[in-house]
A and B are shown apart, each in its own frame.
Chain A
Amino acid sequence: MAQPRADAPSKIILADSDLHRVVDRIAHQILEKTSGATGTVLLGIPTRGVPLAHRLAARIHAFEGVDVPVGSLDITLYRDDLRLKATRALGKTELPAGGIDGLRIILVDDVLFSGRSVRAALDALKDLGRPSSVQLAVLVDRGHRQLPIRADYVGKNIPTALSESVKVALTEVDGADEVRLIGGLK
């Protein structure tokens, strides 16, 4: 996918307080849809899915006192575009001590776009165990799906053009919390 130039115009879609409210809402929705988040594991997809998963777990704990195990799931070796780009460094895969067998897995990522990362994550998951079900939580859904995949929890739907890109910044990784839309014709 063509990246907009570094000096392309950008606008803030979510500022830090908005982003925090969105995370709070997803945490509530998870509690509601999973009847209290029991038997649930949050698995973040590196890089930014991992801190998001930790934030969701912290909010769920704050709201209802439930401890949801958190892990990370690296999908690099399962990507379908591995051969189209230079070799990528691997991220961390860390499963909670209880594993994933028979549990409800919620995959957490920052942006849902083509759906190919999620497909890779589903493939990776199948090699790690057999969850009872898999759900998907994303901070931003920007559309343009190339596979029949949808999210169960969406922070914000942002209609985008293919020439634009969505950049999520999180304090843990980037030093600030915000979501930006970069590029476009305007």
Chain B
Amino acid sequence: MIKHLRSAADLDAATATLILDTAAEMAALSGREVKKLPALRGRTVVNLFYEDSTRTRISFEAAAKRLSADVINFSAKGSSVSKGESLKDTALTLQAMGADAVVIRHSASGAPHRLAGWVDGSVVNAGDGTHEHPTQALLDAYTMRSRLGRLDGLRVAIVGDVLHSRVARSNVLLLTTLGAQVTVVGPPTLIPLDVAAALSSRTRVSYDLDAVLPDSDVVMMLRVQTERMQDSYFPSAREYSRRYGLDMPRMKKLPEHAIVMHPGPMNRGMEIAPEVADSPRSTIVEQVANGVSVRMAVLYLLLGGK
């Protein structure tokens, strides 16, 4: 097993499948009365969150606690970071406290890579800038597999703000490793030529959502990340929504069995219409529940053994 989970590229098909299988067992255990398992007793997991997060932080915390690990939550607000402490000095503090794993979310791409060089424990990337978010990709893959029964040959459309999306990047890497056919869809400003060229070895690129929908088993809508957009990438929210938003008429173009995913948080009415988000085809709430099982699997596989 690998020591760190910094990128979805750290995972080969066998390791990724092991994580998904382990997550399935963890999910079965989550249904019982006593949800706590003793596997990580005495281990310390630090949640190091430099960026706001609801579901990822809570999900990692729940996962670590269900495995009986001790959890220390650290958020940049209200810590010495606001006094100007650097990531390295924070890392050395955590190291001195004996953290067995550090789950890090940071606005700088590559922060988990740097951190892994400073601490002895395992580093889990919980989202770094516009780079990667591997556990989100794992829970998305898990959700697809449990809804549709397979990943190999599955046709997945990832739609929207591909340029800024760490979810898209990790999903492209993981899903293609597991044999899915991925198409990224979005306005040319959000899939610029260099990004399209970098992706082209693994995925198809399209700028026309309506053409892609009838041939998709999964459509994953990305959040339009206004907080990362310094320039204007499209003329207006309304125009974006009309061309790349998933509304009811568009959802009807999907095959009967197809599912609609969103990593959250959603901009209802922007990239996804409220009635689509709340339809039975949407797996958005399921994805959150699966997130705990998948993160339990990751923590167990990274920390459970020698």
Contacts and interface: CB of A to CB of B under 8 A. Distances in A.
A90 B306 contact: no
Contacts of B304: 77, 82-83, 87-88
Interface in A84-114: 84-94
B38 A88 contact: no
A128 B26 CA distance: 14
Interface string B266-306: 00000000000000000000000000000000001110111
A88 B305 contact: yes
Interface in A72-86: 74, 76-78, 82-86
Interface in B1-48: 1, 18, 21-22, 25-26, 28-29, 32-34, 36-39
Contacts of A94: 28
Contacts of B37: 77-78, 127
Contacts of A87: 1, 300-302, 304-305
Q: Give the bracket for the number of chain A residues in contact with chain B.
A: 20 to 34
Contacts of A128: 32-34
Residue picked from B18, B26, B304, most chain A C-beta under 10 Å: B304
A83 B38 CA distance: 12
A124 B67 CA distance: 13
B25 A86 contact: no
A82 B36 contact: no
Given A77-B39, A85-B306, A87-B300, A127 B25 contact: no
B38 A77 contact: yes
A127 B39 contact: no
A64 interface: no
Contacts of A74: 25
A93 B30 CA distance: 12
A18 interface: no
B18 A123 contact: no
A87 B28 CA distance: 19
Contacts of A92: 25, 28
Contacts of B1: 86-87
A131 B116 CA distance: 46
Contact of B28 (A85, A89, A93): A93
B39 to A, nearest CB: 4
A39 interface: no
A129 interface: yes
Nearest to A123: B38
Residue picked from A76, A83, A93, A128, most chain B C-beta under 10 Å: A83
A90 B21 CA distance: 8
A127 B36 contact: yes
A41 B36 CA distance: 24
B22 A86 contact: no
A74 B24 CA distance: 13
Nearest to A129: B33
B240 to A, nearest CB: 43
A90 B29 CA distance: 11
A93 B25 CA distance: 8
Contacts of A82: 39, 304-305
Contacts of A129: 33
A82 B300 CA distance: 10
A128 B306 CA distance: 27
17 contacts: A77-B37, A77-B67, A78-B38, A78-B39, A82-B39, A83-B306, A85-B306, A86-B306, A88-B304, A90-B21, A90-B25, A93-B25, A123-B38, A127-B32, A127-B34, A128-B33, A129-B33
Interface of B: 1, 18, 21-22, 25-26, 28-29, 32-34, 36-39, 67, 300-302, 304-306
Given A88-B304, A128-B32, 15 more contacts: A76-B39, A77-B37, A77-B38, A77-B39, A77-B300, A78-B38, A83-B306, A87-B302, A87-B304, A89-B18, A90-B21, A92-B28, A93-B29, A127-B36, A127-B37
